[in-house]
Amino acid sequence: MQDAPRLYLDLPFPPQGEGVALDADQMRYLATVLRLQNGDTLHVFNEAAGEWEARLEIQRKDRGQALLVAQVRAPEQPIGPVLVFAPLKRDATDLVLRMGTEMGVTRFCPVITERTNTHRINAERFRAIAIEAAEQCERLDIPLIDPLRPLTQLLAEWQGSRALYAALERQESESVGVVPGDYGLLIGPEGGFSETERRLLNTHEAIIPISLGKRILRADTAVVAGLAQLAFRSSQSI
């Protein structure tokens, strides 16, 4: 059990013994919300620096630094699936981002489908949720978040050699065998895929249809169920 709070710091780290500057928001979080004191231990991390044990130095209420004590985890090559999903209502989309990050998604690809009812995404908000989830689940990397694009465009651009598992409800699908290292999962919007989209999906060379059981799941539930099912069968543990 790790008690020290983890903080993602999106900047290059100096050598051991030196400090990384903390901004006003980070200071508020550490000193006011978590009530950390001067000299308390925290962990700071990012993709390039790995994870470091650090000591908090409070200079002012809204300024301080994390003094790097020792590296506790070396940087790692992020491994995990791509999640292609139709943005949902705000709370449900937030859940998809949070749970997807916890489940190891390395890239989120939001897509517009015929029945997508949200046509705008807030990339900054998405990233903030992903960072918070990464801090909580002991990840070192923050997943990438692609701009919104039409599903048809994503499918046209998708490398044929990389499997894209499409969760299609009410469709007989062969059970999934071992899942390759590099793969994607596609989950539809609340309204499901249209007939035209289903036809397109069922003829695309990279698509492998999967069932998530006989019950019809909400799209956010389907994301977690699909990620868990594929992770279980994955040749690479995530």
Write down the H helix ranges in the chain.
Answer: 24-27, 90-102, 123-137, 151-157, 195-203, 219-233
Which pair of tokens denotes residue 227? 């990620």
Estimate the share of the chain in helix, then strand, then coil, as percent rounded to the nearest 5: 30, 25, 45
φ, ψ at 89 (rounded to 5°): -65, 160
Which pair of tokens denotes residue 89? 């209502």
Q: How far is the CB of 87 from ligand SAH (least distance, A)?
A: 13
Residue from 20, 52, 193, 201 in contact with ligand SAH (CB under 6 A): 193
Q: How far is the CB of 225 from ligand SAH (least distance, A)?
A: 8
> Interface with ligand SAH by CB under 6 A: which range of 46-54, 57-65, 163-171, 229-237?
163-171
Closest listed residue to residue 80, CA positions, set 56, 107, 53, 62: 107
* Nearest CB to ligand SAH, comparing residues 61 and 89: 89
Which pair of tokens denotes residue 219? 């799209």
Residue from 83, 145, 222, 230 in contact with ligand SAH (CB under 6 A): 222
**Is residue 216 close enough to count as binding ligand SAH by CB under 6 A?**
yes
Residue from 40, 146, 169, 182 in contact with ligand SAH (CB under 6 A): 169
**Is residue 47 close enough to count as binding ligand SAH by CB under 6 A?**
no
Taking each continuous run of H as one helix and of E as one strand, the counts in the chain are 6, 12
Block residue for tokens 């249209």 = 194
> Interface with ligand SAH by CB under 6 A: which range of 32-40, 54-62, 123-131, 215-223?
215-223
* Nearest CB to ligand SAH, comparing residues 101 and 229: 229
Residue from 9, 22, 168, 230 in contact with ligand SAH (CB under 6 A): 168
Q: Which residues bind ligand SAH (CB under 6 A)?
A: 167-169, 187-188, 190-193, 211-213, 215-217, 219, 222
